[in-house]
């Protein structure tokens, strides 16, 4: 059973802080993704990666960066957190050669105060 | 880029009746169309998917249809049960490739009335 694990379920951070959200998958998936989920807006793609050290901007990358130093780990970084980044963040992974469906992590609910 | 529209935003049906959720997409290069179910407080789970070389796919009480010409795909749930209550998301592959990710619709809150 594929597991995608997000390190924190809930986070509260202050405006201006640098925030790291971590995601680890254990099934050797090539592709990893970060989405944010907001009521009425669905899931919006922030960044994705199809290989180690590779990253691509999604639809809403502003204010975010990512890091993928190992195949199993994909980190989302909020360089200077702002209140409009309060959201549910979902990590997902999929196998290469697709497209194939995602397996999602449980999500991190981030509140920026 | 890809744009996915999903309707309705809320759907209430009587238990035992059928439910239909519709999505349209903009990019003719999209070739993969999954559907996800998200129960309250849980992660989205893939329930069915269809590829652009297939017009219809069925799995027990759920089915998906695809009309490539109209850029339209739909989820059909028959004999609805209380456990079908959830938010459902449709999605389409971006730029036709798996590594490029999925664009999601805004979701449909399906309510099954007893």
Asked if B98 and A99 come within 8 Å (Cβ–Cβ), the reply is yes
Which residue in A40, A42, A100 is closest to B104 by CB distance?
A: A42
| Whole-number pLDDT of residue A2 | 58
Residue A31 has pLDDT above 60, yes or no: yes
Which residue in A42, A58, A107 is closest to B43 by CB distance?
A: A107
Asked if A99 and B102 come within 8 Å (Cβ–Cβ), the reply is yes
Looking at the complex, report in whole angstroms how far the Cα of residue B38 sits from the nearest Cα belonging to chain A.
11
pLDDT in tens, B62-96: 999 999 999 999 999 999 999 999 999 999 988 75
Candidates B43, B48, B49, B52: best to mutate against A (most CBs of A within 10 A) is B43
CA–CA dist A83, B10 (Å, integer): 28
CA–CA dist A35, A53 (Å, integer): 19
Structure confidence at residue A27 as a pLDDT band (50, 70, 90):
confident
- For chain B, the average pLDDT equals 93
Looking at the complex, report in whole angstroms how far the Cα of residue B90 sits from the nearest Cα belonging to chain A.
10
CB contact, 8 Å: B52 with chain A? no
A–B CB contacts, 8 A cutoff, strictly below: 65
CB contact, 8 Å: B93 with chain A? yes
Structure confidence at residue B97 as a pLDDT band (50, 70, 90):
low
Within a 10 A sphere around the Cβ of A4, how many other Cβ atoms?
23
Looking at the complex, report in whole angstroms how far the Cα of residue B29 sits from the nearest Cα belonging to chain A.
12
SS3 for chain A, per residue? CCCEEECCCEEEECCCCCEEEEEEECCCCCEEEEEEEECCCEEEEEEEECCCCCCEECCCCCCEEEEEEECCEEEEEECCCCHHHCEEEEEEEECCCCCCCCEECCCEEEEEC
CA–CA dist A60, A89 (Å, integer): 13
pLDDT in tens, A52-79: 989 999 999 999 999 999 999 999 999 9
- For chain A, the average pLDDT equals 93
* Structure tokens belonging to residue A54: 């590779």
For residue B40, cis peptide bond before it (omega within 30 degrees of 0): no
pLDDT in tens, B22-52: 999 999 888 899 999 999 999 999 999 998 8
Which residue in B43, B97, B104 is closest to A99 by CB distance?
A: B97
């Amino acid at each position: 059973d594929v597991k995608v694990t997000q390190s924190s379920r809930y986070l509260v951070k202050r405006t201006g802080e640098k925030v790291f959200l971590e995601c680890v998958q254990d099934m050797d998936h090539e592709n990893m993704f970060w989405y944010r989920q907001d009521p009425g807006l669905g899931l919006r793609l922030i960044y994705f990666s199809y290989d180690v050290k590779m990253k691509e901007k999604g639809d809403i990358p502003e204010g975010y960066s990512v890091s993928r130093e190992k195949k199993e780990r994909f980190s989302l970084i909020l360089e200077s957190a702002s209140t409009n980044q309060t959201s549910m963040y979902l990590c997902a992974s999929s196998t290469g050669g697709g497209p194939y469906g995602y397996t999602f992590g449980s999500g991190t609910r981030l509140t920026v105060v | 880029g890809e744009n996915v529209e999903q309707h309705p935003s809320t759907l209430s049906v009587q238990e035992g009746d059928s439910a239909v959720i519709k999505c349209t997409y903009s990019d003719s290069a999209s070739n993969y169309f999954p559907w996800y179910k998200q129960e309250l407080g849980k992660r989205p789970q893939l329930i069915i998917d269809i590829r652009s070389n297939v017009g219809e796919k069925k799995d027990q009480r759920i089915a998906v249809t695809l009309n490539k010409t109209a850029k339209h795909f739909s989820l059909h749930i028959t004999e609805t049960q209380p456990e079908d209550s959830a938010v459902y998301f449709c999605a389409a592959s971006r730029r036709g490739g798996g590594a490029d990710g999925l664009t999601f619709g805004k979701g449909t809150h399906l309510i099954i009335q007893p």
